[in-house]
């Protein structure tokens, strides 16, 4: 994948791969992916959701959509223009299959019978019309703040017993004729929507702190209609899957 933000020398470091290890699922259906970036660790997986599954997700979501909001505000904001629907894992059998597929590909606990919100959140479906966008932001709920603020009023650790958002898996449910890229300004990377593909990245480092280079945004849709589906993966239940490093900076 040609990325306009990367130099030729940097692009040369990354290659396309096919993975059939780590899970019986991958032996039957190997994962095709591109290694996009080291910091944050980021990959683009191809053909990981079928047109039939996409249609099911869109059909379920259409009557649940409402104007997108952000955690820190009680209503719509100008810097996030889209519509959102949350789909519980039990909404349809295809959502359970998708959660297990993400788990097999990433090697992380995503659902697999673990109580709601302890491993992976419900799927968030987003619909962006022309002009729809989301300014640069971070996915973690509190670990992008200084450590001394993590336990301030409201005790965020108490409110989030599953930990913070370790990683993000984003399905692209449609392609976009113009615009709509997912841009990571501090990492110098942008990803174009590819129907049936998914971009995956880690937002928290192995030292437990948020990665500033995971900042990202949804570029404005100039022509077409962009649909994505996010699955946020929580950190606490994955402490053995994504262990700490001996390097405090990693």
Instruction: Give the pLDDT band (50/70/90) at residue 144.
Output: confident
Which segment, 106-120, 150-164, 178-192, is predicted with the most confidence on average? Answer: 178-192
Q: What is the pLDDT at residue 173?
A: 98
Task: Compute φ and ψ for 235, nearest 5 degrees.
Answer: -90, -40
Dist CA 180 CA 203 (whole Å): 21
pLDDT over 70 at 13, yes or no: no
Examine residue 40 and say whether the peptide bond preceding it is cis (omega within 30 degrees of 0): yes
All structural domains of the chain, each given as residue ranges with its CATH number in brackets, are: 8-238 (2.60.120.620)
- CA 125, 67, 180: angle at the middle one, nearest 5? 55
Q: What is the pLDDT at residue 190?
A: 96
Q: Is the dihedral of CA 173, 177, 183, 189 positive or negative?
A: positive
Q: Are 127 and 65 in contact (CB under 8 A)?
A: yes
Other CB atoms within 10 A of residue 196 CB:
18
Question: What is the average per-residue pLDDT within 72-93?
Answer: 87
For the ranges 25-39, 56-70, 162-176, 189-203, the lowest mean pLDDT is seen at 25-39
Q: What is the pLDDT at residue 73?
A: 66
Q: What is the pLDDT at residue 154?
A: 47
Average model confidence (pLDDT) for the chain?
87
Report the share of the chain in percent with pLDDT over 70: 86
Instruction: Give the pLDDT band (50/70/90) at residue 34.
Output: very high
Retrieve residue 144's tokens.
């992008």
Question: What is the average per-residue pLDDT within 220-228?
Answer: 98
For the ranges 39-43, 55-59, 120-124, the lowest mean pLDDT is seen at 120-124
Among 240, 95, 228, which residue's Cα sits nearest to residue 168? 228
Q: What is the pLDDT at residue 193?
A: 97
Q: Are 14 and 162 in contact (CB under 8 A)?
A: no
Q: What is the pLDDT at residue 158?
A: 61
Q: Are 128 and 193 in contact (CB under 8 A)?
A: no
Dist CA 176 CA 226 (whole Å): 6
Dist CA 216 CA 198 (whole Å): 15
Length of the chain: 250
Residues 6 or more apart whose CB falls under 8 angstroms from that of 37 comprise 14, 184, 187, 189, 201
């Amino acid at each position: 994948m040609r990325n306009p933000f990367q130099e030729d020398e940097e692009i040369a470091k990354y290659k396309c791969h096919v993975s059939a290890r780590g899970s019986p699922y991958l032996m039957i259906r190997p994962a095709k992916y591109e290694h996009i970036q080291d910091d944050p660790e980021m990959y683009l997986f191809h053909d990981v959701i079928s047109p039939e599954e996409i249609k099911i997700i869109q059909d379920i979501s259409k009557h649940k959509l409402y104007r997108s909001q952000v955690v820190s505000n009680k209503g719509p904001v100008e810097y996030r223009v889209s519509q959102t629907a949350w789909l519980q894992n039990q909404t349809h059998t295809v959502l359970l299959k998708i959660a297990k597929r993400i788990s097999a590909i990433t090697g992380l606990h995503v659902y697999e019978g673990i109580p709601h919100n302890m491993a992976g959140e419900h799927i968030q479906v987003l619909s962006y019309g022309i002009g729809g966008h989301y300014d640069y932001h971070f996915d973690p709920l509190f670990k992008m703040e200084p450590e001394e603020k993590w336990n301030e009023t409201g005790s965020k650790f108490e409110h989030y017993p599953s930990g913070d958002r370790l990683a993000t898996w984003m399905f692209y449910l449609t392609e976009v004729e113009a615009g709509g890229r997912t841009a990571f300004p501090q990492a110098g990377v942008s990803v174009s929507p590819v129907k049936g593909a998914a971009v995956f990245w880690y937002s928290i480092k192995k030292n437990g702190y948020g990665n500033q280079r995971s900042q990202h945004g949804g570029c404005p849709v100039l022509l077409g209609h962009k649909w994505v589906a996010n699955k946020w993966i929580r950190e606490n239940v994955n402490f053995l899957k994504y262990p700490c490093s001996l390097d405090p900076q990693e």
